[in-house]
Amino acid sequence: MSVIGQGIDRLDGRLKVTGQATYSAEHKLPRLAHGVMVLSTVPKGRITAIDSAMVKRMPGVILVLTHENAPRLPKPKEGGEGKTGGGEQSKPDQKKQPPNPKLSLLQDDRVQYNAQPIAVVVADTFEHARAAARSLQVRYAAEPAQLDFQQAKLRPRRPEPQPDRPPETGRGNAVRGLESAASRIDVTFTTPMENHNPLEPHATIADWQAEGLTLYDSTQNVSGVRKVAAQTFGIDVERIRVVCPFVGGGFGSKGTTWSHVMLAAMASRVAGVPVKLALERTQMYGPVGARPLTEQHLRLGASRDGKLLAVMHDTISSTSFVDDFVEPCTAVTRKAYASDSLQTSQRLATLNVGVPTYMRAPGESSGSFALESAMDELAYALDMDPVRLRLLNYAEKDPEKDIPWSSKSLRECYRVGAERFGWARRTAAPGSMRKGRTLVGWGMATCAYPANRKGAKASALINADGTALVRSGTHDLGTGTYTVMTQVAADALGMPVSTIRFELGDTRFPEAPVSGGSQTVASVGPAVYQAATAARDKLIATALGDSASPLHGLTPADIEAVDGWLRAKADPQRREAMGAVVARNGGKPIGAEASADQGDEKKRYAMQAFGAVFVEVHVDPDLGTVRVPRVVGAYGVGRVLNSKTTHSQLMGGIVWGLGMGLMEKTEMDWRFGRAVNANLADYHVPVNADIGDIDITVVDEHDPHINELGTKGVGEIGITGVAAAVANAIYHATGKRIRDLPITPDKLV
């Protein structure tokens, strides 16, 4: 029986709970100095004075790095001045989207958002650095800032087209479709700014030596950090090493290389010692990305019998004057249902805030809130069951590209989810399912997330002692990469999990892509599989060609690798330990490297994970408080590599979705563009007491096209649809349709 799929415990779990997992701020380096970033306190203007001299005299201070003394960096090739935020007609400029946004690297005196890095203070201890950083006197000539989304959105900008993310799309004639509809929905939804709160805030140790730069950085993309450092400082990538064996959560914020990483490197270079720069929790709100706020206009039109005739989804999301980021809310809409016509648009409203970025299912979570809420409204308008409405408009193929799905099990997800939830017992009328005074509501939504994949490399070595070393420059964000890649390698090598060491998080290892877009397993898994298979085949060839081997004379087709042994299929007693083959051939490990890519299957098949989520809410009619006693989710995500880590990922996504629906919001003081709940006490996310029963089913799904392993990602689909299912359940409980997240008690009384 293959080890693939088994719910084995995390191989790095013990290291984590015993404090032996080394996170980025924990690497021990001789002469390590401590840096603390100073952030701007105005949203726009110029720095007119910084009293570095006073702070420089404080105890232990080594360096005060400001725009006055920071090394000048080579000009970025794509260049261009900061945006002016002009109207719709303004020329789309040529700047790149994140993951490499323009950084704040102390090159001039300009401030473009509140909490922008404006100085780094380096001292012998953290306490000295922090005391000095807090004493730094800065004077500004403040300028009027654009901090009013309602105003900014009146002059929306068209974003630069991105691959697979055009600013507008359409099929058929949506205007006519809407006009001819018997039933119409025309509603606007909003989602707030949210900030990433991984347990481990961003942290970097930079060690700039004559021979090169080493960065210990908490990142979802070691090779990306390396490239940005090379570009920023104009040095060869070969001279830069980025190390990241553990990440305490990323959720998208660590997919991008932010200013502090380069500032740590700059500080180390100037100070001549390694510098640690760990962000305080409060500093997570501004300079390292956020989910932008969105306003989404949804129009649906359907025939009397529930067939969608038109879908229109127009989104405006906030962005920054520093650089653009588009929250792609319409991406999910474009592929969701088999509507005759469709029209979507994405626009930007520019504010004096830090550059927004990817946050777990960027666009798919915020967009599915709007689309799946609107579908619920349509179901009520048609007096039709919401599951039935979705089945009536089931997309049998990708409605956008008009190509078949590589696999799609959504129908089965609706069936299994509804059955496990007991959906058939639902009475449709709002307020009709009470428990005493408590209002009970049942709501559901469709979940969807693209099955992404990028090119990745891996290596596998079989050692004389019967162990194997498998490597890829990928990441484990707490998601289980160490564990599942070991399982994949064990399966391909024919060796026990306990004999395999999988290493990741180092640019010295074969290159892997950013661990974002739920693509690590689908990208790195095939590379590991191929490298391990090639290493095993080399070992088999070595044994067969070796007259001292009991297998000598057989052909590769006669041999199987099982449990660390090579053996004859016809006679399992005729066998040899895999390590023994290596030992007898001089002891030099036998191995291989592999590079795996998508090929062109993506042109022939649309690849996406789907699911259905069902939520029960209990609403207190007097207080407006919402409890969620149970959630049922059913997902089609291809082949499961590890049932336990898969379950954990889906559950984590659902929990976040509940937070998105009910709690999560960065409360900005829009007079100053600064977050006022910039800490884990005031920034509300669900805790254990908020979470009831979560029932997750992964339906059987065989996908022969997607990759050698048949896997789709599970990191992000779990959050999609949940906020809508919560809102729909709340409507069912109360008759109140809340279109603005989060659905806090004040909106229900």
- Residues designated catalytic: 716
Site string for ligand MOS, 502-541 (x = CB under 6 A): --------------xx------------------------
Look up residue 260 and give its two tokens: 């502090």
Q: Say if residues 107 and 149 touch (Cβ distance below 8 Å).
A: no
Site string for ligand MOS, 235-254 (x = CB under 6 A): ---------------xxx--
Measured distance CA(298)–CA(332) in Å, rounded: 13
Site for ligand MOS contains 443 (CB under 6 A): no
Chain positions 104 to 133 lying near ligand MOS, rule: CB under 6 A, are none
Q: Which of 527, 540, 538, 533 is nearest to 594 (CA)?
A: 527
Q: Which of 741, 660, 521 is nearest to 196 (CA)?
A: 660
- By beta-carbon proximity to ligand MOS, the closer residue of 177 and 255 is 255
Q: In what order do the strands lie in the sheet with 183-191?
A: 168-171, 342-351, 308-320, 294-302, 183-191
Site string for ligand MOS, 173-192 (x = CB under 6 A): --------------------
- By beta-carbon proximity to ligand MOS, the closer residue of 85 and 159 is 159
Of 213, 302, 342, 359, the one binding ligand MOS (CB under 6 A) is: 359
Map tokens 């790149």 to a residue. Answer: 96
Least CB distance from residue 656 to ligand MOS, whole Å?
11
Site for ligand MOS contains 363 (CB under 6 A): no
DSSP annotation of 717 reads G
Q: Which stretch binds ligand MOS (CB under 6 A): 175-183, 274-282, 355-363, 484-492?
A: 355-363
Least CB distance from residue 249 to ligand MOS, whole Å?
10
Look up residue 693 and give its two tokens: 């029963």
**Number of shown-chain residues binding ligand MOS (CB under 6 A):** 11
Least CB distance from residue 291 to ligand MOS, whole Å?
9
Q: Which stretch binds ligand MOS (CB under 6 A): 31-39, 176-184, 258-266, 356-364?
A: 356-364
Chain positions 259 to 298 lying near ligand MOS, rule: CB under 6 A, are none
Of 358, 442, 502, 683, the one binding ligand MOS (CB under 6 A) is: 358
- By beta-carbon proximity to ligand MOS, the closer residue of 359 and 741 is 359
Map tokens 């969701």 to a residue. Answer: 336
Measured distance CA(694)–CA(34) in Å, rounded: 43
- Helices and strands per DSSP (H, E), number in the chain: 17, 31
Q: Which of 34, 67, 33 is nearest to 50 (CA)?
A: 67
Least CB distance from residue 481 to ligand MOS, whole Å?
13
**What are the φ and ψ backbone dihedral angles of 639, each rounded to 5 degrees?**
-80, 135
Measured distance CA(612)–CA(634) in Å, rounded: 5
- By beta-carbon proximity to ligand MOS, the closer residue of 220 and 318 is 220
- By beta-carbon proximity to ligand MOS, the closer residue of 352 and 707 is 707
CA distance readout (Å), 339 to 113, 302, 394, 536, 606: 42, 9, 9, 50, 17
Residues 6+ apart with CB under 8 A from 28: none
Q: Which stretch binds ligand MOS (CB under 6 A): 5-13, 299-307, 342-350, 359-367?
A: 359-367
Least CB distance from residue 41 to ligand MOS, whole Å?
29
Of 167, 177, 255, 742, the one binding ligand MOS (CB under 6 A) is: 255
Query: What angle do the packed helices 481-493 and 520-544 form, to 10 degrees?
Result: 30
Site for ligand MOS contains 362 (CB under 6 A): yes
- By beta-carbon proximity to ligand MOS, the closer residue of 35 and 513 is 513
- By beta-carbon proximity to ligand MOS, the closer residue of 359 and 660 is 359
- By beta-carbon proximity to ligand MOS, the closer residue of 517 and 611 is 517
Site string for ligand MOS, 202-241 (x = CB under 6 A): ------------------x---------------------
Q: What is the 3-state secondary structure (H, E, C) of 494-523?
A: CCCHHHEEEECCECCCCECCCCCCCCHHHH
Least CB distance from residue 718 to ligand MOS, whole Å?
12
Q: What is the DSSP string of 97-160?
A: PTTS-----SSSSEE-STT-EEEEEEESSHHHHHHHHHH--EEEEE------HHHHTTS-BPPP
Judged by the rule CB under 6 A, the positions of this chain that interact with ligand MOS are 220, 250-252, 255, 358-360, 362, 516-517
